[in-house]
Structures are given as structure tokens and as C-alpha cells.
Amino acid sequence: MKFSIAAAVLSLTTATFALPQATYDGDSCLSQADAETIVARYQAIQAHAASDLGPARKTARKILAKDFQESSDSLNSLIGLPLGTVTWETKADYIRDVLATDAAQLDTIQTLVSGCNYITWFWQAVNLGDFPVKGFHLFEINSNLKISEAWLEFNSIAWNQDLGGTCDIPSAITTSNTTGTTR
């Protein structure tokens, strides 16, 4: 028994060390203040509002890297793109589409520096509709403190219904509880 526990711990430790480590190619890692500033500017873009850098379009041009991309299976499922694919492949497409849609007020729940050059931003949409919508963004930040890649996931069914869409629950869905019975 002791051997199997030790082997399990050793394999877990080995697996942990084998994972690639995030590295930041700047002079130092992101600070919490850097993360909060980047998120506040990104929030302004979503809200079509001005930031300390200027109007939303100007802010987007300044904080998004030249090679910016965003991926979101939540959005892809709503707009009909295949899951697992990039939602916006270019900075220009992202800025055009985000600023052409309704503004979204996303209030911060928490902003975390993850690794050296990633930001995890948990948010909640406000003034959207009857259904609460929470989500998160994971931002990769380059050495120039610009967002080079973003991943977004959120409660897309609630978002869709808040915007007047519909969602029919398939009749074949079943759930099971801890006793193994199916409803």
C-alpha cells in the first residue's frame, strides 16, 4: 500500500514538472495593477465606452496585438462556427464586429494574474435581461503589454435568451443523481 501511494505521488509530481511552463518574454512578470488596467481598458471596448486611452476603437487598436485572435466555443455555438475554432482571426475583424454589436457592460468579479503573462478575468453581465450571465476571459499578454490572444467562455444560453433568442431543451436529456437512478 505504501508503495502504491508513493508511486502515485511520484507520477503526479513527475507529470506536474513535465508540463510546459508559461514564460513571459518581457523584463518582468505582469503585476496585479497591469492586469487591472488591461481589463479596465478591455471592458471599455465591450461597453463601447472611452478608456484612459481614448474612444473604444482607439483603445482596441492600442491594447490588442497586431496578431490578436479570440476563441470562444460559447460564441461559436451561438453564431454557427465549428466548436474548437478561432472566433476572430484578426484584430480588425474583432474590432469591427464588437463595435458593430450592442454594447455589453461586464462587471468584474475578479481579476487574477495567472503565470507570468496571463490574466484570468471573471465577470458578470449587467443590465442584460432576466437570466444572470457570468463568464471569464483568459488573456495572453505579450512583452509590449498587449493582448495577443483571448479565450472566452460564458453562459451562452442565458445570454441568447436575454437577447430574445430561444433555446429548446432536447427531450432525450436525462440526468442521474448519486444513487444511479435516471430521471
DSSP 98-126: HHHS----EEEEEEEEETTTEEEEEEEE-
Give the model's pLDDT for residue 54.
Answer: 97
Indicate the DSSP class of residue 127: S
CATH 3.30.1160.10 fits 27-162, yes or no: no
**What are φ and ψ of residue 94, in 5° steps?**
-60, -50
In the chain, what are the domain boundaries?
27-162
Picking from 156, 19, 166, the residue whose alpha carbon sits closest to that of residue 83 is: 156
Give the model's pLDDT for residue 59.
Answer: 98
Give the model's pLDDT for residue 85.
Answer: 95
- Spatial separation of the C-alpha atoms in residues 70 and 52, rounded to whole Å: 23
Q: Phi/psi class of residue 102: alpha, beta or left (left: φ > 0; alpha: ψ in -120 to 50)?
A: beta
pLDDT per residue, tens digit, the chain (183 aa), is: 443 333 333 333 333 333 333 345 556 899 999 999 999 999 999 999 999 999 999 999 999 999 999 999 999 988 889 999 999 999 999 999 999 988 889 999 999 999 999 999 999 998 777 888 999 999 999 999 999 999 999 988 877 777 777 776 666 655 554 444 444
Give the model's pLDDT for residue 7.
Answer: 39
